[in-house]
Structure 1
């Protein structure tokens, strides 16, 4: 303190004694150089190179503007222009890059390079449980269906196979209706759509949905009539039902190929591939492998060990390890590439699906990726896309009286706020679509935040401040987040099957307007053994100690008096038989949706919600 006072005194002394202070030199008029082009955003180090001024000079000028900025920090055009002018350099803001450079049209090869034939990219679509994943298993000789929660494909995967010396790429799209948006993006990224229809089930709502997406994407269809070997199979019924949706197969004089198959036995699979290759040959798909690569992000995840991972399909050009790429609003250098069978590759040409590592974040599924010259161009490209997206967003603001009244009504309704974390980027849109359909005149369901990765402390803080519940889909909860949630009273629910999650959110929304309910315990069981089941799930082998365990009721898992989980039942068995309930002193197996960390001795309490009688 004394030292600072003495310093001020010495400075004041010098100011008063004019003889001790050097007269300030006369400032020469600034001679302007330039003009130079500046992007919408630029780092201090890059600005130094462009205007040929010392970084220290730039940082000093920024400090005069009360901006504390480091060498590698970015500043926008307005700030960079102000600094440049102060340092005697005229600047010019370049016209935004053409719309085509940041286009939302996925995988369009407009270059007039030398085109060469490329393999077809095929999307496999259809109704849930009609055998899409099993069909792909038969095609590529592996089995992934056992690892899927509930036997339902929950994310998009892409693979390329070699059939008698000819390559063909497949995209396996989810079949549950909540994944409509993901399936639509899958169709946009493809050349041919295979619509799988079970011969014993016929055309179902999601079959119609898949047909609509294929038509909207203007891609040719091939109908795979699956399960022709099961009892009750009726392929003629399938072709007749397809007529109702303007799909006319060749046998009835139309132009849509139809192939009967048994994915389980492998019958007809080779014929299906031959039909696809024939259609590919007739369509003459081509691309220029020498141009800078463009393509589609099929799926993206945040891997704990590897960081952001994007599954992409190259539509044209060739992407190499070391290239700088832009994917949506993310960019980075390609650090590593892995094909659909886990083999590391150095380059990927047209129609090749690969996992790419090296991005600075998780891009959204369905967005275009492209190879650019360097990081500077990548940031410019992202900035242009961001402004275009903002303009589109502004254009969709309420503009009619009906829209304004609808927004006002939403504020008057009760609100259920949600914070959502998922294991894959592509499922966010699916969840958002499902949540949007849950609102009613009485209850407004709002998705406050949705992102990939485990549930974190920041998610809990957001939920606590917003009086929200947290739902996690195919993801985990960080221990610190779990402790904070207990302290703050924030409910966290995790799920492996999306329709269970949707049912629980529906129930929570109903509780906001329905009469008060109370939990009524109807049974308890003790965990005796734990058995593995599929990729993620575990079966709790239990003995019922009191009451009943009912499949359609709710369960609470407790350990040494501490409640670990509350949720729904995925399946309940007594020996090999699916059952609706297990009585006292009987044993059985229980699978809970979203909980798999059982220990022997855990207590599972079964309860129901019942309305409180009004007195």
Structure 2
């Protein structure tokens, strides 16, 4: 040990993600400079205030004999809230609990009719406004159903239908009590049906299967029941405990039966209760930036009651609830458990899946949001930097030779941007090309996005997902030479970016054999040198083609060129197999009878 850094005896040190060496030094009462020296001895150059990656902190801890524990984001958040005397997991007295509506997530394969089913339930048309008929956003809606003489409410969460939104669909399952698995009777179980089923099982929630499109002539609902038996979903009529309901969303067949099945499953399998009093807690399901209203978040209240005027914090965003709207845009004064509402008044756009909570005053929520933002920044900075070791310094210098595709992502809602970024990093990116996302945000493309793109030393493309740039911003982009691309369907964006990444690669060439010729005779010429009298054995011999000379199967000369080619006394551009010709090769005279001349060309290889 050098520089007087303390030695730990297995002592536990808890550090948050992206902690600096100064933070570490504070925990062990050491001088930050001594830890910088230790890191240098370990072959890493880190300043005292720089955010370190988890690996760096663990490496240093092991070296000094400390048991470093990186605090998970959830624990970190709990500790932060504990400073303000807020406990999300506090036990609730039984007398405070009231029954609440079930929260239902609709899942299933793309184009199996999830949104059409919700349309039939809500008597509203969402699909008409969705690009390509694919749901691009998460929405939440509440419907009221008469059941056993009571007016019961059910909350529905509509999750996007295609696989790029797996992360968001998984989050949908976290707030869910029951999953409706939609399977088309004419199509059967598909890959995403199984994927949705796995999400529901991982979240440990009961499943009701809606066998859709039973009105089609080719529909086979029994086949769906048999297929799902393989995945552990056995219908009640087969002696299992899963309710299967035949529905046809377009004509509206079986909708009441489905809602009844949901309520029966909720009553039989779940005890759905929540405290209605106290400060509200819940989840931000979706959020976007509205031109006139600012940040608009769709939140699902899980505990307590949210009222207009409450101070709330959601992820790194905070603010006061200026107004609350239901799914039809009508104002609400308060929202109880399992009620989804649109909230206006946040300072920023929260991420899809961020927890939200109401606090006593504006100061508390602002401090929580600021500390969350600072921690997120530190963690993302540490991860983006990677480990700067002595060995990687040369690699970093070499990285200048790599080509990179730099993107600024802007979308209409945070969930879409997050899903697009997630999908982009899952693309099969070759090693010699880097994909960098230098900024992502919610809302229209602004002048600051263009300035950010033009300020970069490399070319940056701005991707607008369901958002546009104003004329002023477009003119600025043209002036600065910044490319803006617009997309409404996520697949199209992924395909084009994948193609762009492959286009950045240096072309690869492969050798393609053109033909071979056997030397039958050699003619000496004082003017030209040795002329080979040949017969073409295969393919074609072309003038100016690259060639190599083989003698008894061994290459004796490479990098040759067919400098002249004749048929009898006439010049020829090419001679095909079975014909005789005379030819000369450049820069090589030692040719003999029986040698074989092999010609080839280099062709660009298409990228897979």
**What TM-score comes out, normalization by structure 2 length?**
0.65
Please list the CA deviations of residues 117-136 of structure 1 after superposition, one character each: whole Å capped at 9, or x if unmatched.
00001011111111011101
Residue aligning to 1:503? 495
Distance 1:151 1:391 in 2: 39
Q: Does the CA-based 8 Å contact 1:106-1:368 persist in structure 2?
A: no
Residue aligning to 2:109? 127
Distance 1:281 1:253 in 2: 20
Distance 2:87 2:497 in 1: 34
Q: How many residues align?
A: 424
Please list the CA deviations of residues 403-433 of structure 1 after superposition, one character each: whole Å capped at 9, or x if unmatched.
9999999876431111111011111111111
Q: Does the CA-based 8 Å contact 2:288-2:442 persist in structure 1?
A: yes
Q: Does the CA-based 8 Å contact 2:210-2:244 persist in structure 1?
A: yes
Deviation at 1:100, TM superposition (A): 6.1
Q: CA 1:240–1:381 in structure 2 vs 1: closer, same or farther (change >3 Å)?
A: same
Residue aligning to 1:302? 289
Please list the CA deviations of residues 312-356 of structure 1 after superposition, one character each: whole Å capped at 9, or x if unmatched.
111011011111111111111111010012211100011111100
Q: CA 1:352–1:177 in structure 2 vs 1: closer, same or farther (change >3 Å)?
A: same
Please, which of 236, 245, 254 is the counterpart of residue 259 of structure 1? 245
Q: CA 1:217–1:102 in structure 2 vs 1: closer, same or farther (change >3 Å)?
A: farther
Residue aligning to 1:375? 362
Residue aligning to 2:469? 477
Paired residue secondary structure (2:244): strand
Please, which of 406, 424, 429 is the counterpart of residue 435 of structure 1? 424
Please list the CA deviations of residues 143-173 of structure 1 after superposition, one character each: whole Å capped at 9, or x if unmatched.
1211111111110111111101111100111
Q: Does the CA-based 8 Å contact 1:200-1:234 persist in structure 2?
A: yes
Larger radius of gyration: 2
Please list the CA deviations of residues 349-400 of structure 1 after superposition, one character each: whole Å capped at 9, or x if unmatched.
1111110001111111111111100011112322443466468668976699
Q: CA 1:413–1:127 in structure 2 vs 1: closer, same or farther (change >3 Å)?
A: farther
Please list the CA deviations of residues 564-597 of structure 1 after superposition, one character each: whole Å capped at 9, or x if unmatched.
xxxxxxxxxxxxxxxxxxxxxxxxxxxxxxxxxx
Distance 2:344 2:92 in 1: 27
Please, which of 398, 403, 416 is the counterpart of residue 405 of structure 2? 416
Q: Does the CA-based 8 Å contact 1:97-1:381 persist in structure 2?
A: no
The 5-angstrom pairing of residues 333-482 of structure 1 reads 333-386=320-373, 389=376, 413-438=402-427, 439-466=429-456, 467-482=459-474
Q: CA 1:109–1:156 in structure 2 vs 1: closer, same or farther (change >3 Å)?
A: farther
Q: CA 1:272–1:496 in structure 2 vs 1: closer, same or farther (change >3 Å)?
A: same
The 5-angstrom pairing of residues 510-529 of structure 1 reads 510-513=502-505, 515=507
Paired residue secondary structure (1:98): helix
Please, which of 174, 187, 191 is the counterpart of residue 205 of structure 1? 191
Q: CA 1:405–1:119 in structure 2 vs 1: closer, same or farther (change >3 Å)?
A: farther
Distance 1:407 1:181 in 2: 32
Paired residue secondary structure (2:182): strand
Paired residue secondary structure (2:452): helix
Deviation at 1:478, TM superposition (A): 2.1
Residue aligning to 2:280? 293
Distance 1:167 1:423 in 2: 30
Instruction: Structure 2: give runs of 5+ residues left out of the alignment.
Output: 1-75, 509-603
The 5-angstrom pairing of residues 552-591 of structure 1 reads none
Asked if 1:98 corresponds to 2:85, the answer is no
Distance 1:401 1:210 in 2: 46
Moved more, 150-159 or 107-116: 107-116
Distance 1:333 1:404 in 2: 48
